[in-house]
A = this chain, B = another copy of it.
């Protein structure tokens, strides 16, 4: 390896800091590049529609654990997390490309199972797998997926469009995927201590499914369109609510007031968090992998969405100078910190 003499550790910058650092000087050159780095996807303009592209790299031991990720579910989830990025642009995914790095421990049958999950996700979401590449890999499984979608001209929704007084809305409920992971990790430890022990997962279908086989909110994009609501900003929740709120605030140059008692948490998630001696709110704020959509709407659009049980207003945007705050259940205001799951933590 050839390096300059100064050495800054990646963890000093963190994942987002690193990307920002690396890409801050990059200028786009083509008229067809409407939006490059800095959002959930890139928007390209080739004709009467705009093209949205998003890419993700999933690595064994960092993003998933072969002990409890069934391969078919893993393939499904790998596609879903990419589609979620496309929906978060208010776009419709149409194609994905898949690259796999595989160690010799994977048989053809194992890879077939993985692919079955990918193909299933493609069928359910109406997305074609249009590219494939496999190569050997010394360290387990590497999955790289690029999703490509389309959106009507000027209908793409970015992270930077929220306005002061806009309402912050989230779909579904939060924290369940994180609790599913806690449960799986606990049973893995039990299993390691006694491999004959059967895992005790009864009654936890919901949190397990949220972790192992999540869905992307295609339905929410359709509903918003039907309600004639165009969000002013949007992001999907992969790293945790707090981290995603920070992205919207940073890019829109705004502050936020978040209401703890409004954060939607499923009863199973809530009880399981309590059983694990965890704060359910913290699970929602920092757990991640929910793949719900988090977006801002103008107050004028509130009437259109208020009767939808699947959409919850959880806060409103304030001036940037007011900062990011959460009004707790007890009525006090605390600073909201983004302590989301850190993709670089494997380096610690």
Task: Give A residues with C-beta under 8 Å from B.
Answer: 1-4, 6-13, 15, 18-19, 21-23, 25-26, 28-30, 32-33, 35-37, 41-42, 44, 46-49, 51, 53-59, 61-63, 66, 70-71, 94-95, 97-113, 115, 119, 122-123, 126-140, 142, 144, 146, 148, 150, 343-347
Give A141's nearest chain B residue, CB to CB: B1
Q: Are A346 and B137 in contact (CB under 8 A)?
A: yes
Given contacts A46-B150, A55-B97, A62-B101, list 18 more A-B pairs with CB under 8 A: A2-B70, A3-B110, A10-B134, A22-B112, A22-B132, A30-B126, A33-B94, A41-B131, A48-B48, A53-B95, A53-B131, A54-B97, A55-B144, A57-B100, A59-B101, A134-B343, A136-B345, A146-B146
Task: Give the distance to chain B from A123, nearest Cβ to Cβ, in Å.
Answer: 8
Cross-chain pairs A/B with CB under 8 angstroms, 7 sampled: A2-B71, A3-B107, A22-B132, A26-B129, A28-B130, A42-B95, A46-B150
Q: Are A8 and B131 in contact (CB under 8 A)?
A: no
Q: Are B136 and A29 in contact (CB under 8 A)?
A: no
Q: Are B51 and A131 in contact (CB under 8 A)?
A: no
User: Hey, which chain B residues are within 8 Å of A3, CB to CB?
Assistant: 107, 109-110, 113
Q: Which of these, B4, B36, B132, B133, contacts A128 with CB under 8 Å? A: B36
Q: A2-B113, A344-B136 are in contact. Are A131 and B22 (CB under 8 A)?
A: no
User: Hey, which chain B residues are within 8 Å of A98, CB to CB?
Assistant: 55
Q: Are B101 and A142 in contact (CB under 8 A)?
A: yes
Task: Give the distance to chain B from A41, nearest Cβ to Cβ, in Å.
Answer: 7
Task: Give the distance to chain B from A247, nearest Cβ to Cβ, in Å.
Answer: 14
A262 to B311, CA, bound (A): 68
